[in-house]
């Protein structure tokens, strides 16, 4: 699947189209097997929930983090009510790419080609530290010492995994695994993101007892995405080059599109198919494809062509086989953007509240720690704030590209 994505970012529309159809031809050949696997995964979720006397599989999944169902449902409702800017973005894509119609395989190619830059690892560290300066001396000094020290394995080697990853243990420093390339601007963001995870671990490690050190995924993505948001604001302050600004803004827009809009659609699909199983109806291939197609039609604009093969996407998303996880990406980016706006606006106490959130580790439930930091995820405000940011950035991008 990683090879598939590498084709979808190519500038050649025919190459993207061929890659899309060839990729989904494989899923077409195995669609009944995959549908059976997904159906039994849902059955297992429902069985385990009933065995433990939960009213639904959704409530069973939310229970460990003490997240009310209203938060999950409120996320879907808020995003559903603000789809118009997303449709506008798809229309902007169609126009900028010079296409008569837009397909799903046209939504990943950058509107602004990758910026040609050469940024050394040490320069990237300084860029990230400059962006994180609002968090204060302790945060910056610890991260600087770690990145200039041996926290980060940044060299590509044989058999090393791709992407970025941060890990550690209670009695050792956090470690970052990535493959930093001087000519890939996105790697600066990867460094900021993984640095956020590492600093979350460091603050928790130096504050909490062992049993409260490990934090849940719900909180983890907030700390890392928060750093990316600060980096975006910092870079936009530093550059006035229209092409560079368009690239950075397009990147932020696509991050929100992927983490908030797309993951919410996934979350809604998970809720629907589990509800179908709970009513006793059979989950067949046609049911999966039909329900997923309805969501695709709702979350994409009228001028967006939905190729029939796209209905099979519901069978290839790994998270669907470990249900009710994807919503955390949507809540994570919403909380992160809200925290970033509070810190950058100079709101009194916002920096200390943010650092206290990092220090809290797993000592409290995630909604409680976020509320202490000034982000109340039990209300639609953080989600609506992020949706408003998406629309503001879209206006800026339209001015730069049209």
* pLDDT at 25 exceeding the cut of 80: yes
Q: In which element (H, E) is residue 17 found?
A: helix 13-29
165-169 and 172-177 strand pairing: antiparallel
What is the number of other CB atoms lying within 10 angstroms of the CB of residue 376?
A: 15
**What is the pTM (predicted TM-score) of this model?**
0.96
Rounded (5°) CA angle 51-56-58: 115
* Residues designated catalytic: 194
Classify residue 372 by burial, with Cβ atoms within 10 Å: 0-12, 13-18, 19+.
middle
Domain ranges of the chain: 1-112+209-401
Structure tokens at 118: 């050469």
What's the CATH superfamily of 1-112+209-401? Answer: Oligoendopeptidase f, C-terminal domain (1.10.1370.20)
Contacts of 336 (CB under 8 A, 6+ apart): 221, 222, 223, 224, 225, 226, 228, 229
Helix residue spans in 257-380 (DSSP H) = 263-278, 285-299, 327-344, 350-359, 366-372
Residue 367 CB contacts under 8 Å (≥ 6 apart), including other chains? 65, 66, 67, 71, 377, 378
Q: What does the pLDDT average to over 11-23? A: 97
* Residue 196 and residue 226 in contact, taking contact as beta carbons nearer than 8 Å: yes
Q: How far apart are CA 26 and CA 30, in angstroms?
A: 7
Q: Residue 251 is inside which H or E element, if any?
A: helix 242-256
pLDDT of residue 146: 98
What is the predicted pLDDT for the residue at 254? 97
Please compute the mean of the pLDDT values over residues 303-312 and round it to a whole number: 94
pLDDT in tens, 332-389: 999 999 999 999 999 999 999 999 999 999 999 999 999 999 999 999 999 999 999 9
| Short-list 273, 367, 264, 216, CA closest to 56 | 273
- Contact between 366 and 216 under an 8 Å Cβ cutoff? The reply is yes
- Which of 16-20, 114-118, 156-160 shows the lowest mean pLDDT across its residues? 114-118
């Amino acid at each position: 699947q990683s090879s598939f994505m590498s084709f979808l970012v190519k500038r050649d529309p025919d190459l993207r189209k061929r890659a899309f159809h060839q990729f989904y031809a494989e899923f077409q050949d195995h669609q009944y097997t995959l549908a059976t696997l997904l159906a039994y995964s849902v059955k297992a979720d429902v069985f385990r929930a009933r065995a433990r006397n939960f009213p639904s599989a959704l409530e069973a999944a939310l229970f460990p983090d003490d997240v009310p169902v209203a938060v999950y449902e409120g996320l879907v409702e808020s995003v559903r009510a603000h789809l118009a800017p997303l449709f506008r973005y798809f229309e902007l894509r169609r126009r900028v790419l010079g296409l008569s119609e837009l397909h799903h395989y046209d939504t990943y190619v950058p509107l602004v080609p990758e910026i040609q830059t050469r940024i050394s690892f040490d320069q990237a560290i300084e860029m990230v530290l400059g962006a994180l300066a609002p968090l204060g001396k302790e945060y910056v000094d610890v991260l600087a010492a770690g990145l200039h020290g041996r926290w980060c394995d940044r060299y590509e080697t044989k058999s090393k995994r791709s992407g970025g990853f941060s890990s550690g243990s209670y009695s050792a420093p956090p470690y970052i695994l990535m493959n930093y390339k001087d000519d890939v601007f996105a790697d600066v963001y990867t460094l900021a993101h993984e640095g956020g995870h590492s600093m979350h671990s460091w603050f928790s490690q130096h504050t909490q007892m062992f049993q409260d050190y490990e934090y849940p995924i719900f909180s983890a993505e907030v700390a890392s995405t928060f750093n990316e948001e600060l980096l975006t604001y910092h870079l936009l302050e530093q550059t006035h080059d229209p092409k560079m600004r368009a690239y950075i803004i397009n990147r932020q827009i696509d991050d929100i599109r992927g983490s908030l809009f797309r993951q919410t659609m996934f979350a809604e699909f998970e809720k629907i198919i589990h509800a179908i199983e709970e009513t006793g109806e059979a989950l067949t291939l046609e049911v999966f494809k039909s329900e997923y197609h309805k969501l695709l039609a709702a979350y994409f604009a009228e001028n967006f062509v939905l190729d029939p093969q796209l209905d099979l996407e519901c069978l290839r998303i790994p998270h669907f086989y470990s249900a009710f996880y994807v919503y955390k990406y949507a809540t994570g980016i919403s909380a992160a953007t809200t925290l970033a706006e509070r810190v950058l606006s100079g709101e009194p106490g916002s920096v200390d509240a943010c650092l206290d959130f990092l220090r809290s580790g797993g000592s409290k439930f995630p909604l409680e720690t976020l509320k202490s930091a000034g982000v109340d995820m039990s209300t639609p405000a953080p989600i609506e704030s992020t949706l408003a940011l998406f629309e503001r950035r879209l206006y800026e991008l339209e001015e730069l590209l049209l």
